[in-house]
Amino acid sequence: MAGAQVFVSQDEFTCSVCLDTLTEPVAIPCGHNFCLKCLTEYWDDSQVCSCPQCRHTFMLRPELKRNNLLNQVIKKLKKTTLSSPPPQNYSSPEDVECDFCTGKKFRAVKSCLTCPASYCQTHLQPHYEGDALKHHKLVDPDRNLKEKLCEKHQKSLEIFCKTDDSCICMMCVVTGHNGHKMVELETEREEKQGIWSRGLSKTWPVKTP
């Protein structure tokens, strides 16, 4: 029986410290992966030995060994992405269109919250190859990007201010929310989803500044 095909992209193998594709990847006991150099420097500069992603603290500093299998997967993925991008598909009414195609538009494979715009596979390549774009926040194709931008600063909404019960951008954090209780938006969303699953709430905070 033929094996099922699995399609992945480089942004699924990103180090949360440098926000770049993993280099010399290492895994730690909590299950998260980082660049060997990034994690080593992070721990060398920290008073406690904790995971930069989930903040789990280790009593003893784990020995870091390169994940050879993951390293090979990333190398092959980079070669595949650069040499033979997947076939393009023209967009249908249900799809998100690429904002940069002229004439008949291809289907977008990613949307960028930083730009903000949606890209087909060809026009997405600079986000993987160029130093100026590779730190941008890529998400699944989204036709409602404007709803994810701060109305005041036109920056992506990445933080949830618990004090004001609103989603805010990083500029809002600096200019109007000093001293407020804040968490990453994904953390708040996961918390709210947990509440929903227990039937305690039916609404998600959508108020923006």
| Tokens 């060809």, residue located | 122
Q: How many domains does the chain have?
A: 3
Pick the last residue of a domain from 55, 83, 111.
83
Classify residue 4: in a domain, yes or no. no
pLDDT tens, position by position, 82-102: 554 555 677 778 888 998 888
Q: Are residues 79 and 97 in the same domain?
A: no
Provide the CATH number for the domain around residue 173. Answer: 3.30.160.60
Q: Determine the structural domain holding residue 44 and report its residue range.
A: 10-83
Q: Containing H/E element for 161?
A: strand 159-161
The type of residue at 69 is: L
DSSP code per residue over 156-181 = B--EEETTTTEEE-HHHHHHH-TT--
- CB neighbour class for 16 (10 Å; exposed up to 12, middle 13-18, buried from 19): middle
Q: What are phi and psi of 176, to 5 degrees?
A: -150, 10
Q: Are residues 205 and 181 in the same domain?
A: yes
Q: Are residues 183 and 202 in the same domain?
A: yes
pLDDT tens, position by position, 151-209: 777 777 778 888 888 888 888 888 888 788 888 877 877 777 665 555 554 444 544 55
How many whole angstroms separate alpha carbon 128 and alpha carbon 199? 41
Q: Are residues 154 and 131 in the same domain?
A: no
How many whole angstroms separate alpha carbon 9 and alpha carbon 128? 10
Identify the bridge partners of residue 139 per DSSP, sorted by sequence position. Answer: 111
Q: Are residues 105 and 143 in the same domain?
A: yes
